[in-house]
Amino acid sequence: MDTHQFVHNYEGAGAFGLDRETDEETLIFYLQKFSEDKFMAHLLPKLSNEEITRVYDLVNHLIHKHLSEEEYHRIFLKDR
């Protein structure tokens, strides 16, 4: 099951560039808001094919760079 609990409980600064911890929290907040179904339905039609590819390629690159095959399936896909 997919969950986005952080965004509902976050009370931090929501600013980027202050320190590593705040940057990480802000990134979680932004990505959880970004991936909401209603927001995606609104944004995706406005993106060019190139922009869609760039977002996909960045996420895919980071996943494959930092996760083992087992982590990818267990944590990201949740199929193991």
Q: What is the pLDDT of residues 48-74, one digit of tens each?
A: 999 999 999 999 999 999 999 999 999
% of the chain with per-residue pLDDT over 90: 81
Nearby residues of 78 by Cβ (< 8 Å), 6 or more positions away: 1, 2
Say how far apart CA 78 and CA 80 lie, in whole Å: 6
Q: Per-residue pLDDT averaged across 43-48, rounded?
A: 98
